[in-house]
DNA sequence: ACCGGAGCCTGTTAGC
DNA sequence: TGCTAACAGGCTCCGG
């Protein structure tokens, strides 16, 4: 499940092979992959465009084009991007191929077909509703406190809400709540200033750790070159149901919250 | 304001 | 052993 650290890892890996390249051909085998505009316009519009920069907003990959437009990619559950030689064998789940002027190809593979590509003049059309970037200096304890004002929400679904804070998914939500010592069913309006302080620190800690370890290769995520990240070996609670908490030794519990499996230590999190 | 459920997908796994 | 049904999971939309 690519979340902020996984997407950041992909962006860093694609920067060198992609910046400065021009798209010379667009092929897609699953038109619904293109979120907007429609496929014919997408093809016409992207043809001949040159990549000026590549960045990230939440879980969205932003491929900035020289004329000011932006190609946006969301990997959702199982999306994978790679720059490959043209003669590389095509995986059966590769549904979109963007040919580059150096002969190589940017390939979008997606087993579950949830991922999307967008081509827009203004990226705010797509990412405008996202909450703050949690790793920027501007994401302060005060900002988090302010965003919690007047709200009464269960913490786990709140962390998964991209309009509250951008980039957190199921893995890092569970990990952040563990490090904050907060129960996933805790209501947001019961947090003390000390709780908010710990939550703020925990969010940044787990996301930074995820980036340092180049993502969690749980399920299908791999880096663009196909190798695995290391974060799956550093999780405290995620998918460790029944195993001992590293802090207190109690078995990790699993519940379902907001339709998402949720893992936590009942002794360490309140 | 907040929550829950459906829908989008398909490979894997649990259950009969 | 072989089949089917349930499940996972990010996000959007809808209804309560």
Read off the pLDDT band of A73 (50, 70, 90): very high
Question: Is residue A105 located within the same domain as residue A13?
Answer: yes
How far apart (Å, rounded) are the C-alpha atoms in residues A171 and A175? 6
Q: Are residues A113 and A172 in the same domain?
A: no
Please report whether residue A15 resides in a domain.
yes
Q: How far is the CA of A222 from the C1' of B10 (A)?
A: 18
Question: In which domain, by residue range, is A186 found?
Answer: 141-264
Same domain, A29 and A104: yes
CA separation for the pair A92, A94 (Å, rounded): 6
The predicted pLDDT at position A67 comes to 92
Q: Do residues A1 and A219 make contact, with C-beta atoms less than 8 angstroms apart? A: yes
Answer yes or no: do A156 and A195 share one domain.
yes
Listed range (A95-109, A113-127, A175-189, A201-215) with the worst mean pLDDT: A113-127
Is A184:A177 a contact under the CB 8 Å cutoff? yes
Please check whether residue A270 lies inside any domain of the structure: no
Residue A18 shares a structural domain with residue A108: yes
- Is position A136 within any domain? no
Per cent of chain A over pLDDT 70 is 100
Q: Taking the C1' atom of B8, which residue's CA lies nearest?
A: A114
- Asked if residue A168 and residue A72 are part of one domain, the reply reads no
Boundary (domain end) residue, out of A127, A158, A183? A127
Residue A162 beta carbon within 7 A of nucleic strand C = yes
Name the residue with the least CA to C1' distance from nucleotide B4.
Answer: A258
Residue A150 CB in 7 A reach of strand B: yes
CATH of the domain at A248: 1.10.8.50
CATH code at position A66 = 3.20.190.10
Q: Determine the nucleotide nearest to A169 by Cα–C1' distance.
A: C10
Active site residues of A: 2-3, 59, 260
- Residue A236 in any domain: the answer is yes
Q: What is the pLDDT of residue A37?
A: 77
* Overall average pLDDT of the A177-186 stretch: 94
Please choose, from the candidates A14, A25, A122, the residue with its C-alpha nearest in 3D space to the C-alpha of residue A75: A14
The residues pairing with A252 across neighbouring beta strands, listed in sequence order, are A241
Residue numbers in A 115-134, CB below 7 Å of strand C: 129
Q: How far is CA A161 from the centre of its chain?
A: 13
Last residue of a domain, one of A98, A127, A156: A127
* The two three-digit tokens of residue A4, written as one number: 């902020």
Please classify residue A89 by burial: count the beta carbons closer than 10 Å to its beta carbon, then call 0-12 exposed, 13-18 middle and 19+ buried: exposed
Last residue of a domain, one of A72, A92, A127: A127
Give Cβ neighbours of residue A149 (< 8 Å, ≥ 6 apart): none
* A21 touches A99 (CB < 8 A): no
Residue A66 within any structural domain of the chain: yes
The pLDDT > 90 percentage for chain A reads 63
Q: How many domains does chain A have?
A: 2
Protein footprint on strand B: which nucleotides are under 7 Å from a CB?
1-6, 8-11
A258 touches strand B (CB under 7 A): yes
Asked if residue A145 and residue A123 are part of one domain, the reply reads no
A170 touches strand C (CB under 7 A): yes
Nearest protein residue to C10's C1' (by CA)? A76
Nearest nucleotide from residue A188 CA, by C1' atom: B2
Q: What is the pLDDT of residues A12-70, one digit of tens each?
A: 999 999 999 999 999 888 777 777 777 888 888 999 999 999 999 999 999 999 999 99
- Return the pLDDT at A204: 95
Same domain for A97 and A183, yes or no, is no
Confirm whether A119 is domain-assigned: yes
């Amino acid at each position: 499940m690519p979340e902020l650290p996984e997407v950041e890892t992909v962006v860093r890996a694609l920067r060198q092979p992609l910046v400065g390249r021009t798209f010379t051909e667009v092929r897609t085998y699953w038109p619904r992959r293109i979120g907007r505009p429609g496929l014919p316009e997408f093809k016409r519009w992207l043809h001949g465009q040159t990549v000026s920069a590549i960045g990230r907003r939440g879980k969205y990959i932003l491929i900035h084009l020289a004329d000011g437009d932006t190609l946006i990619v969301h990997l959702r559950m199982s999306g994978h991007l790679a720059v490959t030689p043209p003669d590389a064998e095509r995986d059966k789940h590769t549904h979109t191929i963007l040919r580059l002027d150096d002969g190589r190809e940017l390939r979008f593979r997606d087993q579950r077909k949830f991922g999307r590509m967008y081509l827009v003049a203004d990226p705010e059309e797509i990412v405008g509703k996202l909450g703050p970037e949690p790793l920027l200096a501007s994401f302060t304890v005060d900002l988090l406190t302010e965003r919690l004002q007047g709200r009464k929400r269960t913490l786990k679904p709140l962390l998964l809400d991209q309009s509250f804070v951008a980039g957190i998914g199921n893995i890092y939500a569970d990990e952040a709540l563990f490090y904050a010592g907060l129960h996933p069913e805790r209501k947001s309006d019961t947090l003390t200033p000390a709780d908010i302080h710990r939550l703020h620190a925990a969010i940044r800690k787990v996301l930074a750790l995820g980036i340092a370890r180049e993502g969690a290769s749980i399920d299908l995520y791999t880096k663009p070159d196909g190798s695995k990240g290391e974060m799956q070996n550093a999780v405290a609670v995620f998918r460790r149901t029944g195993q001992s908490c590293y802090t207190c030794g109690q078995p990790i519990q699993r519940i379902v919250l907001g339709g998402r499996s949720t893992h936590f230590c009942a002794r360490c999190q309140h």
